[in-house]
Structure 1
Amino acid sequence: MKPFKNKQKKKITMPLYKLFIILFVTVLLTSVVTFASYKFGLYFGNDKQKSLNKIEEAYKQIDDDYYKDVDDEKLTQGAIDGMIKSLDDPYSEYISSKDTTTYNEEISGDFVGIGAEMEVHKGYVRITSPMKDSPAEKAGIKPLDVVTKVDNQSIKNKSLNEIVSKVRGKEGTTVNLTIKREGKEPFDVQIKRDKIHLTSVDYTKKNDTGIISISKFQNKTTKELKSALKQAKKDNVKHVVLDLRNNPGGLLDEVVTSVNLFVDKGKPVIYLETKGDKPQAVETENDKMAGIDDMDYSVLVNKGSASAAEIFAGALQDYKIADVLGTTTFGKGIGQVHKEFNDSSILKYTNMRWLTPNKSYIHKKGIKPDKTISAPKYEGIEIIDPTKSYELGDKSKEIKSIKIGLDALGYNTSNENETFDAQLENNVKAFQSEHKLEPNGVFTDETTKKFIELLRKKIRAEDKQLDEAIDYIHK
């Protein structure tokens, strides 16, 4: 056998430009393959892509093979709704394109309509109050008017949302309402729709105290609040109560500028904490309102004060601008952002939690008042269903509410337990007799409706929590 001999290596050469071309093509092909792998789920180890592929496969399977035709839009919305539901977050939601107009109107406080508050009443809707200087008021609509038809179409047993959508419409167009007014035959009223702005700030004066109620933080709230504060200064009030009870919150930008009226430039109103990031300060951008320190302030809150209302109360409390009075707030210390799609639908989801200027978390804790002032018990009783009956011997938490409510209306009860006893039966009979109802001692139907009506009137006419807050201020 011949011994193995090493062969001499051959030297391979090529022009430099060809080498560059080969390198460029190699990089390009690698990029294309990588993109295609990611795009079509071939990028192994990518769990998110596998999940997306599964969703797409399920969608296609249902769309192709379900025994009936399916609505693609409903299918898509159902998939998104399912994802939102899995978050177990009551503040995240998907708003379809057909509902975005109403949603945006609620945020801005602006809508096109006739300017009248309505409530369901015996299968129709009743006007609770036409807004000042609104098309409804100018057309002669009055409180307690019952609307039976809209554009000659009966609205009997329609939902309030359905009726409101019929009454609203394009600016400058006309809607015809058929009105039933006590003591008169039904008549038609034509009303020209116009742009309506729901004010979020209301000012009243009680002796030497100004009361500024802020119902929500929407577009123009800061402007309205500034006007109210100016009026309080003109009235030479010494103390202002900023009433945020049942204020559900609103726009972050608006509450920051509202706080800025009281807090100087460059001060943090809140700190925002997003995933993986340290808290970032949201600071005031302008000088505070001139003359703002000439008055003293208190903030009145309750369990219904949430989100932006808590930001406002927390900032004024931390900066010692105002004492917080009332009861512990709701405790919504997280914030949402909106993602708008090409079809105008909106995905609203939670992407942050926030801290007060002193870096306190309030989520699920609320803001504790400096002085606890509780509302009367009858303001927080259980809702009584008029279709249900309560009579001697029954037991339920609603019966306890009936006792508390009747006591507030002057029918004295010796106990507040959950038993429908003989004393309650006598009180119910007395209540029925006084209001010309059948005195059978059974709490149901018209008795319940009258009870609710009178309690609502009492709550509107008397504000014992506010009165107690004013008394505390002047001690």
Structure 2
Amino acid sequence: MTEPQDTHTEDSTEKSQPATKYLQFKRRKFIWLVIATIILTALITVFATISISNFMSGLTSEQRKDVAKIEQAYKTIDNEYYKDVKSKELSDAAINGMVKQLDDPYSEYMTKQQTKAFNEDVSGDFVGIGAEMQKKNDQIQITSPMKDSPAEKAGIQPKDIVTKVNGKSVKGKPLDAIVKQVRGKKGSEVTLTIKRNGEEQDISIKRNTIHVKSVEYEKHGNSGVFKINKFQDSTAGELKSAIIKARKQGIDNIVLDLRNNPGGLLNEAVKMANIFIDKNKTVVQLEKGEHKEQVKTPNDSLKEAKDMNVAILVNGGSASASEVFAGAMKAHDKAKIYGSKTFGKGIVQTTHELDDGSILKYTDMKWLTPDDKYIHGKGIKPDVKIDTPEYQSLNVIPNNKTYVEGDETSHVKTIKIGLKALGYSINNESKTYDNELTEAIKKFQKDQKLTVNGNFDKETNNKFTEMLVNKANEKDTVLDELLDKLK
């Protein structure tokens, strides 16, 4: 009995050995399989993440190489430059460099702090001098001074070139940095060196709170004059309300005064055109490459404006959205254009806010009038030309120099034209500072309670400029001529 039992036990042991080996083999295979699966999953995850990241970035492989190059340069300078550098300043400089490469005066990068000033412009309230500026051909140019602003009162004019701010050259500086220099604390002064007709002069301007009223309305007999200062938030709504008020007053003729209006929000120009232009009509055409989009009026026109005779008054300071509006009204035969040729800005800018609150403003397309006219660099010619009085377009005379009898310069001719406009006896407009001019200046100085010496000094110059600006504001000969034509 025992032997068979022993034999049975021996047989059982022999049969169990291969099974144990098989189990051990399966366990090792399973472990390797798990490891392989983990590695494979990790690789798939990495490649998927990279692929998704590349797809989401919207960049081509070539563009990703370029970005990697920028990142490599950034890291090298940040880590290895012998002096401490501020990484944020490096990134800001990199973006500014890219924008500068566009060679576009209307494209710019604004930091979070600078964005505040940009938003103030759109809302209509800021502290400064009240002059729109742009960078053109590497020069800082005044687009237009705002009505009753410190800039206008000081004699700043459209297309003046700013060469210095507080004696420091603006050459090579980005527009936003120059705007920051011009703006400052209320009541403080800033001195702009401006070039006009090839001659430079310093103009000191006291900063103040600038509130840009979007629409100002005045009744002149049976005509209503609507001064549109800028296309900002709710401009169209303000004009609509003013027109309804004018209609109740029995107004038949309306003048939309866009002189020295630098533009602003494109959508407000479209809304404003919709007051006069019927629903589903093209206001402006936006063009980018081969793609063209027609921006149409979304609503019915304002019933109160349907039978009104509309005149639009423009000049060299009427730009951008002003030209969009004027071009649409002219194309749809809704208005006649009066005045002088507009500025000529036929491109559109948009903004993109970056993660840190900074803004990239860039030109993304050009625009054409509904009848396919591209006005960039050309402007819109008026249907009826009304010349601006000569004294309103005079050069500002530098106030850092005293002019005396015997001097011969173009500034002397300017003095004569200005004094004649102010009612003083001047019989010639030569460049020579003659005795007649000396006597006229003495009378001017006496009338204005200044030191009477017959010399055109700083004190006399400042009063002279102030009075010419006031005269231009008090008696608007261009508007008066237009209103006469509408009678």
Q: TM-score, normalised by structure 2?
A: 0.70
How far 1:343 moved relative to its partner?
Answer: 1.2
Match of 1:83 among 91, 95, 98: 98
Matched, 1:69 2:84: yes
How far 1:438 moved relative to its partner?
Answer: 2.5
More displaced, 231-240 or 327-336?
231-240
How far 1:37 moved relative to its partner?
Answer: 12
Q: What is the CA deviation profile of residues 403-438 of structure 1, one whole-angstrom value per residue up to 9, with x for unaligned ones?
A: 222221112333444443443333323322322322
> What pairs up with 1:219-368 in 2 under 5 angstroms?
219-274=233-288, 276-368=289-381
For residues 277 and 339 of structure 2, the distance between their equivalents in structure 1, rounded to whole angstroms, comes to: 23
**Structure 2 match to 1:405:** 418
More displaced, 380-389 or 238-247?
380-389
> What pairs up with 1:32-431 in 2 under 5 angstroms?
46=62, 48-49=63-64, 51-109=66-124, 161-164=183-186, 198-274=212-288, 276-431=289-444
Aligned length: 380
For residues 52 and 334 of structure 2, the distance between their equivalents in structure 1, rounded to whole angstroms, comes to: 59
Local SS of the residue matching 2:377: coil
Local SS of the residue matching 2:269: helix
How far 1:388 moved relative to its partner?
Answer: 2.8
Supply the AA of the counterpart residue of 2:108. E
Structure 2 vs 1, CA of residues 65 and 471 (structure 1 numbering), >3 Å: closer, same or farther? same
Q: What is the CA deviation profile of residues 75-112 of structure 1, one whole-angstrom value per residue up to 9, with x for unaligned ones?
A: 3222222222232222111111012122112112367x
Q: What is the CA deviation profile of residues 355-380 of structure 1, one whole-angstrom value per residue up to 9, with x for unaligned ones?
A: 11111100001111000001111111
> What pairs up with 1:440-459 in 2 under 5 angstroms?
440-459=453-472
For residues 72 and 405 of structure 2, the distance between their equivalents in structure 1, rounded to whole angstroms, comes to: 60
RMSD across aligned positions (CA):
3.5
Matched, 1:462 2:484: no
How far 1:303 moved relative to its partner?
Answer: 0.5
Local SS of the residue matching 1:337: strand
For residues 220 and 317 of structure 2, the distance between their equivalents in structure 1, rounded to whole angstroms, comes to: 24
2:413–2:429 contact (8 Å) kept in structure 1? yes
How far 1:455 moved relative to its partner?
Answer: 1.2
2:232–2:268 contact (8 Å) kept in structure 1? yes
For residues 70 and 394 of structure 2, the distance between their equivalents in structure 1, rounded to whole angstroms, comes to: 46
**Unmatched tracts of structure 1, length 5 or more:** 1-20, 120-127, 130-157, 167-192
Relative contact order, higher structure (CA 8 A, sep 6+): 2
How far 1:218 moved relative to its partner?
Answer: 0.9
Q: What is the CA deviation profile of residues 222-262 of structure 1, one whole-angstrom value per residue up to 9, with x for unaligned ones?
A: 11000111111111122111111111111111111110010
How far 1:393 moved relative to its partner?
Answer: 4.1
2:424–2:440 contact (8 Å) kept in structure 1? yes
Q: What is the CA deviation profile of residues 299-332 of structure 1, one whole-angstrom value per residue up to 9, with x for unaligned ones?
A: 0000000000011111111111110000000000
1:199–1:224 contact (8 Å) kept in structure 2? no
Local SS of the residue matching 1:253: helix
For residues 163 and 76 of structure 1, the distance between their equivalents in structure 2, rounded to whole angstroms, comes to: 29
For residues 251 and 44 of structure 1, the distance between their equivalents in structure 2, rounded to whole angstroms, comes to: 33
Structure 2 vs 1, CA of residues 449 and 79 (structure 1 numbering), >3 Å: closer, same or farther? same
For residues 60 and 263 of structure 2, the distance between their equivalents in structure 1, rounded to whole angstroms, comes to: 45
For residues 400 and 266 of structure 1, the distance between their equivalents in structure 2, rounded to whole angstroms, comes to: 54
Local SS of the residue matching 1:248: coil
Structure 2 vs 1, CA of residues 36 and 215 (structure 1 numbering), >3 Å: closer, same or farther? closer
How far 1:210 moved relative to its partner?
Answer: 0.6
Local SS of the residue matching 1:240: strand
Supply the AA of the counterpart residue of 1:163. K
Supply the AA of the counterpart residue of 2:235. T
For residues 50 and 402 of structure 1, the distance between their equivalents in structure 2, rounded to whole angstroms, comes to: 62
For residues 287 and 44 of structure 1, the distance between their equivalents in structure 2, rounded to whole angstroms, comes to: 45
For residues 290 and 58 of structure 1, the distance between their equivalents in structure 2, rounded to whole angstroms, comes to: 62
For residues 122 and 259 of structure 2, the distance between their equivalents in structure 1, rounded to whole angstroms, comes to: 18
For residues 423 and 54 of structure 1, the distance between their equivalents in structure 2, rounded to whole angstroms, comes to: 71
How far 1:64 moved relative to its partner?
Answer: 3.4
**Unmatched tracts of structure 2, length 5 or more:** 1-36, 132-147, 150-179, 189-208
* Sequence identity percentage: 46
For residues 120 and 362 of structure 2, the distance between their equivalents in structure 1, rounded to whole angstroms, comes to: 19
For residues 385 and 307 of structure 1, the distance between their equivalents in structure 2, rounded to whole angstroms, comes to: 31
Structure 2 vs 1, CA of residues 443 and 73 (structure 1 numbering), >3 Å: closer, same or farther? farther
For residues 446 and 304 of structure 2, the distance between their equivalents in structure 1, rounded to whole angstroms, comes to: 57
Supply the AA of the counterpart residue of 1:87. L
**Structure 2 match to 1:5:** none
Q: What is the CA deviation profile of residues 4-36 of structure 1, one whole-angstrom value per residue up to 9, with x for unaligned ones?
A: xxxxxxxxxxxxxxxxx9xx99x9699679859
For residues 395 and 62 of structure 1, the distance between their equivalents in structure 2, rounded to whole angstroms, comes to: 57
Structure 2 vs 1, CA of residues 389 and 52 (structure 1 numbering), >3 Å: closer, same or farther? farther
